[in-house]
Structure 1
Amino acid sequence: MYVAVKGGEAAIANAHRLLADRRRGDRSVPALTLSQIAGQLALAVDRVMAEGSLYDPELAAMAVRQSRGDLIEAIFLIRAYRTTLPRFAATRPIDTAAMVIERRISATYKDVPGGQVLGPTFDYTHRLIEPEMAEDAPVAAPARRDPPEDAGHAPRVTDILGDEALIEADGEGKGAEPADLTRTPLAFPASRDLRLQALARGDEGFLLGLGYSTQRGFGRTHPFVGEIRIGEVEVEVDLPEFGFPVVIGRVRVTECQMVSQFTGSKAVAPKFSRGYGLVFGQLERKAMAMSLVDRALRADAFDEERRAPAQDEEFVLAHCDNVQATGFVEHLKLPHYVDFQAELELLRKMRKAAGATDETVSGSKGDVEVVQ
């Protein structure tokens, strides 16, 4: 029989002290600083900011350190902290066309206006562990190259296609007040702005799997990467006392525009459709997956039958949030003594009613005794 657990508070306090000890690690090794985490583990910090819905590299680095590198735990910490912050205003939509570009590639046009800018990327590495990673080896500075003559003019690829009316128009819902997922519970059917918010906060791995599924036939997404661009954009707010927008800072974002298959009708000439992804930091895999799923979720807009998981709005949006998923899965390891005792008693009554008399149950690893 089970007995009540005693001394819970003392055990929890000790668990916290042990956690702090393990977090610090070997005392002979210098502790990680926030600047080291933000600078050298920047992609992890970017993910925490993106899925935590709060742009603050130092705070995200602090969460990564506190969580011992468990990024979902760090995202949870950022989300919790975010709820304590006052909200002063809503910014103007950021202008990604005016981005200070660090990386910009297109899989649709080789000689795209503004040029291809590879930037920092793993795309062309050999995926081999480098021995230099074992020590603090010096790093050579990148070679300086003159930018292309038209580098100051880098129109988005989808705008180039739009000028020829070859792709559906951008700006669905333009002018309407956007929904706020952090203040309004998710309801179905969801508007596209609400869907994009949910996807931007969604778990990268979950969205990656769904995006992959659309490419393997579980959805109607057969895309080209129109463009991925990474860089800093200005954030502006309207201040009534000034009468004009004021720049309050810059944020680094990744934008992905997917060019997908044709759509059209008797009244409308065939055009490419599009999927969109925009996230904090340098997270192009996340932005790509987001844009693939965004296009799949727009099935109704193109009179497509919803048959694949990535096209099921309620399935995707209700399960893509890793903080909610973590809470629901990890709560299973918390005490369920009373519930289990109830299930155990019910099972005994059912077996008794069925006249079960077997004393053992044969399993693949031998006989397991059943206590009655």
Structure 2
Amino acid sequence: MYVAVKGGERAIDNAHAWLAEERRGDLAVPELTTAQIREQMTLAVNRVMAEGSLYDPDLAALAIKQARGDLIEAIFLIRAYRTTLPRFGSSLPVDTGAMACDRRISATFKDLPGGQVLGPTFDYTHRLLDFMLAADGDVPAAPEMPVDPAPVPHVMSFLNSEGLIAQETCDGTPAPDLTRAPLELPAARALRLQALTRGDEGFVLGMAYSTQRGYARNHAFVGELRIGTVPVEMEIPELGISIEIGEITLTECETVNQFTGSKTEPAQFTRGYGLVFGQTERKAISMALVDRALRWEELGEDDQGAPAQDAEFVLYHCDNIQATGFLEHIKLPHYVDFQSELELVRKLRRDATGQGAE
């Protein structure tokens, strides 16, 4: 039970004013613009868009500014705003095979049609502080590289051509929309993937790491990691055609996982899958590992009792907004609840010492 704090309205107004002052910081320092956040904190913007389920870099940048850099608070702001938007239609499934790749690597095949494209990555940096950034030094321009706009094939197609990887099937049933209906179990793979792509990056990373350490025997190779832009199309029923309404940046990861086969299936590889808004490769790889771990039952594997194999545990706890709401509600007044428990403990102590017999 919650009770109002005496004088609470004025106190809350003052807290909001103080929060705004703290957000602004030293007035002698120029204020960050949303354009600066959008262009120079791109990875934070991408995470807010992915976990907020709304692709809009400008709004994500605004949410980060308003939240003082607290990404979970920014995700909360984006999700809340998203609920106010009308839905006037659905886009067609994007074709990631037509992606214009800025980055495309494979840990399973060295030589690929289209080549390995390292792209912008921290992978080969030395993790040393660059004090030139503190001195506002100029960033040297990247060398001009020829860009081939032609789409490049998915690496998995090479394994598929030999029948060495399990075929993915789809019965055409529309997947439930997790942004409009609550999660229900048992959840099909499409719904699980929705939950993972908007789940907390740290939680999904922790689950993925647990699979690599043996909690699900999920040894995987990155078959392909690609980052780039894809067109988004929408059907216009009145015209009987589909038109391109824009393009978005996506990170896609497919992992190759070991699978020994069964009495009815030949030895083959299986896969895990991750697809996330923006350049969000750590999340996409983590998502692919957890996706594969959750597929144990459909692939006829043993349940080892690993956390990453438990769909209820993973899917009900990966959402950082739900987790934050439940966690932070204990800061709210619980005076009556606590007083009742306090009186109960006092009574039990009196009874134990015989003082309650009087």
Q: Same fold (TM over 0.5)?
A: yes
- Look up the match of 2:297: 300
Q: Which moved more, 1:303-312 or 1:274-283?
A: 303-312
- Look up the match of 1:368: none
- Look up the match of 2:157: 159
Query: Structure 2 counterpart of 1:245, which letter?
Result: S
Please tell me whether the aligned partners of residues 205 and 286 of structure 2 are also in contact (alpha carbons under 8 angstroms). Answer: yes
Q: Answer 1 or 2: higher relative contact order, Cα 8 Å, separation at least 6.
A: 2
Q: Does 1:325 align with 2:336?
A: no
Rounded to whole Å, the distance in 2 between the matches of 1:160 and 1:96 is 16
Q: Which moved more, 1:63-72 or 1:135-144?
A: 135-144
- Look up the match of 1:219: 216
Count of aligned pairs: 352
Q: Does 1:252 align with 2:253?
A: no
Decide whether aligned partners of structure 1 residues 190 and 263 sit closer, same or farther in structure 2, where only a CA change above 3 A counts. Answer: farther
Following superposition, the deviation at residue 152 of structure 1 comes to 2.6
Q: Which moved more, 1:121-130 or 1:255-264?
A: 255-264
Following superposition, the deviation at residue 147 of structure 1 comes to 5.1
Please tell me whether the aligned partners of residues 100 and 232 of structure 1 are also in contact (alpha carbons under 8 angstroms). Answer: yes
Please tell me whether the aligned partners of residues 52 and 79 of structure 2 are also in contact (alpha carbons under 8 angstroms). Answer: yes
Q: Which moved more, 1:153-162 or 1:36-45?
A: 153-162
Decide whether aligned partners of structure 1 residues 275 and 4 sit closer, same or farther in structure 2, where only a CA change above 3 A counts. Answer: closer
Rounded to whole Å, the distance in 1 between the matches of 2:345 and 2:152 is 68
Rounded to whole Å, the distance in 2 between the matches of 1:106 and 1:264 is 24
Decide whether aligned partners of structure 1 residues 36 and 174 sit closer, same or farther in structure 2, where only a CA change above 3 A counts. Answer: farther
Once the two structures are superposed, the pairs formed by residues 119-134 of structure 1 within 5 Å of their partners are 119-134=119-134
Query: Structure 1 counterpart of 2:22, which letter?
Result: R
Q: Tell me the alpha carbon deviations over residues 244-285 of structure 1, each in whole angstroms, 9 at most, x when there is no partner.
A: 111110000100001001242233221100000000000000
Following superposition, the deviation at residue 203 of structure 1 comes to 0.2
Following superposition, the deviation at residue 153 of structure 1 comes to 4.6
Q: Tell me the alpha carbon deviations over residues 97-134 of structure 1, each in whole angstroms, 9 at most, x when there is no partner.
A: 00011000100011111100001000000001111121
Once the two structures are superposed, the pairs formed by residues 290-369 of structure 1 within 5 Å of their partners are 290-306=287-303, 307-355=305-353
Rounded to whole Å, the distance in 1 between the matches of 2:197 and 2:147 is 32
Gaps of 5+ in 2: none
Following superposition, the deviation at residue 235 of structure 1 comes to 0.6
Q: Does 1:230 align with 2:227?
A: yes
Please tell me whether the aligned partners of residues 263 and 273 of structure 1 are also in contact (alpha carbons under 8 angstroms). Answer: no
Gaps of 5+ in 1: 358-372
Please tell me whether the aligned partners of residues 113 and 153 of structure 1 are also in contact (alpha carbons under 8 angstroms). Answer: no
- Look up the match of 1:370: none
SS in 2 for 1:354: helix
SS in 2 for 1:302: coil
- Look up the match of 2:72: 72
RMSD of aligned residue pairs (Cα, Å):
1.5
- Look up the match of 2:180: 183
Rounded to whole Å, the distance in 2 between the matches of 1:230 and 1:146 is 17
Q: Which moved more, 1:62-71 or 1:154-163?
A: 154-163
Rounded to whole Å, the distance in 2 between the matches of 1:70 and 1:220 is 35
Once the two structures are superposed, the pairs formed by residues 11-90 of structure 1 within 5 Å of their partners are 11-90=11-90
Please tell me whether the aligned partners of residues 263 and 302 of structure 1 are also in contact (alpha carbons under 8 angstroms). Answer: no
- Look up the match of 1:95: 95
Following superposition, the deviation at residue 146 of structure 1 comes to 3.5
TM-score normalized by the length of structure 2: 0.96
Following superposition, the deviation at residue 301 of structure 1 comes to 1.1
TM-score normalized by the length of structure 1: 0.92
Following superposition, the deviation at residue 4 of structure 1 comes to 7.9
